[in-house]
Structure 1
Amino acid sequence: MGMAMRKTGSGAGTGPSHGSGDWLTGQLLIATPAMQDPRFAQTVICLCAHSADGAMGLVLNRPLDSFAFEDLLQQLGITPAPPARAIRMVSGGPVEGGRGFVLHSPEWQTDGTLPVPGGPDREGAALTASVEVLKAIAEGNGPRDCLLALGYAGWGPGQLEGEIAANAWLTVPADADLLFGSKPEATWRQALAKLKVDPLLLSDVAGHA
């Protein structure tokens, strides 16, 4: 699976600069009607990395219904088949769609696992791109909560900040329910509900919170 998380490459857009303590790693991006890119309409993205070099995140609510977890394991030669556990699979974004990224609860780690910090009183998450996590899941072990994303969304330096300034995204702290518990078709509305925003009242000129 191997995931090289390049922070260049795009999926969504551009923008204000944040200071070193003000990056949005671990936040959720919620697309507003001002999002012009149809690939990101009504998406919710977990930002796994954000710095002066750019940003990288995974779309949480674009399910891969046509491709089963067992099929992927067979392609990678991972046993047992069928696996002892199955996990939800999503299209994580338009960049490098052949790469797999497991977003998971942070109690399980292996070499190369990237912590995704949570906010105050939030557990946070972790990101693993090696096949080790898939082997553990197939055997019935691995992280408590997880999902598998193929591909990711990436932004160059300042790009994401510009999109936020243009009101294309709202932000909200991630929590386990939004990351792993919600059904994909409900994730966008549930994320907005965290901000007490009614999607019917959003307009393409809505300000961001």
Structure 2
Amino acid sequence: MESIAGKLLVASRELRDPNFTQSVVMMIEHSPEGALGVILNHPSTTSVSEAWAQIDGGELEDDTPVFVGGPVPGPLIALHAIEDLGEKEVLPGVFMSVQRDVIEKLVLAPDTRLRLYSGHSGWGAGQLEDEMKAGGWHIVSAEPGDVFADQEQTEDLWQYVLERMAIDIMLPGVPHNKLPRDPNMN
């Protein structure tokens, strides 16, 4: 199977795993050895300020939630828009970083497009492919706005991406930025 790194994995209505109900996963890695991504639309109740106080002990004013990237524990993962601090380009204009010193620079930088994820979503060799064959997931092209959506858009991201997928099927080749976010606005 062709790699789906840099694309969205969107939970189907049939997916029953409570960790992934109505989730949209940004795929960071995908190879024959396995896959890794972060859930874009599961904000936690912990703010970036609260998380940073636990990590660094310093004060920071940022009420943005840290997102639950998935059920697999691991280091904080940052998705951001600063190329010079990116350890990997996930999609054009979106970079990933996990190094603590880089995340500190990102957190302290003013007006940074940034999302922090605690944990990640991971699959062993062939596991994700089996779930896709069983109808658990849809693959959709990713856009930077999916990663950096505001709170209201994040809450509706699953539905929005499914609608975008339907538009891609019904109107292939029409750029999404030429269509209103709300189809009722046509």
Structure 2: segments with no counterpart, 5+ residues: 168-186
Report what 2:170 is aligned to: none
Report what 1:89 is aligned to: 66
Does the residue aligned with 2:50 lie in a helix, a strand or coil? helix
Alignment RMSD (CA, Å):
2.0
Report what 2:53 is aligned to: 74
1:53 and 1:152 map into 2 onto residues whose CA distance is 16
- 2:108 is equivalent to residue 139 of structure 1: yes
Q: Deviations over 1:107-143 (max 9, x none)?
A: 2425xx1221x3xxxx25221111223322343348x
2:29 and 2:99 map into 1 onto residues whose CA distance is 17
- 2:14 is equivalent to residue 34 of structure 1: yes
Q: Does the 8 Å CA contact 1:70/1:82 hold for their aligned counterparts?
A: yes
Q: Does the 8 Å CA contact 1:58/1:153 hold for their aligned counterparts?
A: yes
Which one has a larger percent helix, Structure 1 or Structure 2? Answer: 2
Q: TM-score, normalised by structure 2?
A: 0.80
Q: Does the 8 Å CA contact 1:106/1:115 hold for their aligned counterparts?
A: no
Of the two structures, which has the highest relative contact order with CA contacts closer than 8 Å and spacing of 6 or more? Answer: 1
Does the residue aligned with 1:155 lie in a helix, a strand or coil? strand
Identity of aligned residues (%): 28
Q: How many residues align?
A: 165
Q: Deviations over 1:168-193 (max 9, x none)?
A: 11111110111112532111011112
Q: Does the 8 Å CA contact 1:54/1:155 hold for their aligned counterparts?
A: yes
Report what 1:154 is aligned to: 122
Moved over 3 A (4+): 85-88
- C-alpha displacement of 1:53: 0.6
Q: Does the 8 Å CA contact 1:78/1:135 hold for their aligned counterparts?
A: no
